[in-house]
Structures are given as structure tokens and as C-alpha cells.
Amino acid sequence: MIITMVFRVFDSLFPHVCLLCDQRCETNSNIDLCGYCRDALPWIRRACHRCGEPLPMDTTDARVCLTCAANPPPFDRTIAPLRLESYPRHWVHRLKYGGGLAEGRLLGTLLADHLISTYASEELPDYLVPVPLRWLRLAVRGHNQAVIIALPIKRALHIPLLRTAMIRKGHVASQQQLSRRARLNNLSRAFVARREFSGETIAVVDDVMTTGATAAAVASALLAAGAGSVHIWCPTRTLLS
């Protein structure tokens, strides 16, 4: 009771201020964005259940896109609610190359909030696994952006985070100039699970979903290690079409 009162006084003395417009935020919000700026972010309103690509608004109740219907990926579900443009693009860039931990926490918290409503009637995965970086890149960057995004999700959804469940091997050919099939083959050798699973559902966390090739490679490695199902959770997505 006393602690709640202290927090209220503290909040009124030092209100949360929106990062984008300097307006005061709702006191019960865990995100430093006001409601208006949050709604104005480039949200993908309706997406393929399986790969996260936007679905046309006029499609009757189809839940998967034509690509996934014809050729399903190894993961069962993708949550990637923001298009990689405007502010989210800037935040991802800051997180990756400018040491922007605050931006990473913001992206993770926005994703966590979205997951809470998305999984309201679905069972949550058993574990979180961040997409690993190669050790050299980790040494240069100092942090893995996927871990920074996973931390607020772990706290909000109470899902154990397995930071070292996977490794990314160093010696694979460059991804550029390769066909999609060659890229998948190349990537499938890049990730190795360091532990066995027994049918659990794993949520793989990363900063951006692009072609889905990395997600497919990580999912295949986890399934090979005994995972029952893989979901892909990224705050942002580049659009294929």
C-alpha cells in the first residue's frame, strides 16, 4: 500500500514522457510512447499465421498466404507485427550498430505487449531461443540484439530464455549471390542446437524477419534436436511483395 503510494507520487513528479512527441504517457503504460504515437507506428494489421507476410484485407478468412499453403515452412507460426520502416527501422539500426539498448528494450516491450494479446487464446511456447550471432560478430558488437529483444518478453510472459541453446558456426559461404535454395542449404549447416528437446514448442526470437531463410534454418535445427514445434517472434518484418 505504502509502496504503491510512493510509486504514484514518483510518477506524478517524474511522468513518463513519449520518446517521439514529448507528451505525457499513460501512467500504467510500460512503454515510453504515448497512445497516439504507438498507434501511428507501421503495424501490419492482418498477416499470414505461418510466415507473417501481410494478407490482403479483402481475403475472406484465409489464415495463411498462398506461398505457405503451397510450400509450408518448417516453423508453424510467425509474429512480426511492425513493418521495417520509419521509427522501427531506425530503432533496429540503432540496436544493431549504435549500441542502442534502450531501442532494443522498446522493440522487445512492444513485441511482448503484442504477444500477450495474440496468445490470449493460444498456448504459449515452452522456451525462448534467441537467434545466435557468430562469436566474432558478438565480440565486435558486444551484445546479441536477439537477446536484448528477448529479455522483456521473458519478463512479461514468464517463459524461460535459453541463451546458449544454439550456436552459429563461423565457416559458411557468404549468403549474397546465392539462390534461395542454395541459401537455405548453406544456412541449414550454420545453426546447431547444443541440447536435446522432447517435443516442446520453441519461440525463436530475432530483430527482423526478412526472407524467412534464417528462421527456416534455425527451426530445422531445433526440430532435428527434438523440438515439437517452432514459432518465430520478431518485432519487425521486411515485406517480400
Q: Which residues bind Zn ion (CB under 5 A)?
A: 18, 20-21, 23, 34, 37, 48, 50-51, 65, 68
Mapped onto helix, strand or coil, the DSSP state of residue 202 is strand
CB 230 within 8 A of CB 204: yes
Task: Return the number of the residue (34 or 216) whose C-beta is nearest Zn ion.
Answer: 34
> Which residues pair with residue 17 across a beta bridge?
24
Show Cβ contacts of residue 56 under 8 Å, excluding neighbours closer than 6 positions. none
Q: How far is the CB of 215 from Zn ion (least distance, A)?
A: 12
Q: How far is the CB of 160 from Zn ion (least distance, A)?
A: 28
Task: Return the number of the residue (20 or 156) whose C-beta is nearest Zn ion.
Answer: 20
190-222: buried (b, 16+ CB within 10 Å) or exposed (e) per residue?
bbebeeebeeebbbbbbbbbbebbbbbbbbbbb
CB 236 within 8 A of CB 207: yes
Mapped onto helix, strand or coil, the DSSP state of residue 119 is coil
Task: Return the number of the residue (106 or 150) whose C-beta is nearest Zn ion.
Answer: 106
Show Cβ contacts of residue 143 under 8 Å, excluding neighbours closer than 6 positions. 99, 101
- What the block records as the C-alpha cell of 196 is 536435446
Task: Return the number of the residue (33 or 203) whose C-beta is nearest Zn ion.
Answer: 33
Q: How far is the CB of 76 from Zn ion (least distance, A)?
A: 11
Task: Return the number of the residue (51 or 110) whose C-beta is nearest Zn ion.
Answer: 51
Q: How far is the CB of 8 from Zn ion (least distance, A)?
A: 22
Q: How far is the CB of 135 from Zn ion (least distance, A)?
A: 33
Task: Return the number of the residue (37 or 161) whose C-beta is nearest Zn ion.
Answer: 37
Q: How far is the CB of 34 from Zn ion (least distance, A)?
A: 3
Task: Return the number of the residue (32 or 126) whose C-beta is nearest Zn ion.
Answer: 32
CB 64 within 8 A of CB 48: yes
CB 131 within 8 A of CB 214: yes
Q: How far is the CB of 193 from Zn ion (least distance, A)?
A: 25
- Name the burial class of residue 10, with classes exposed (0-12), middle (13-18) and buried (19+) by CB atoms within 10 angstroms of its CB: exposed
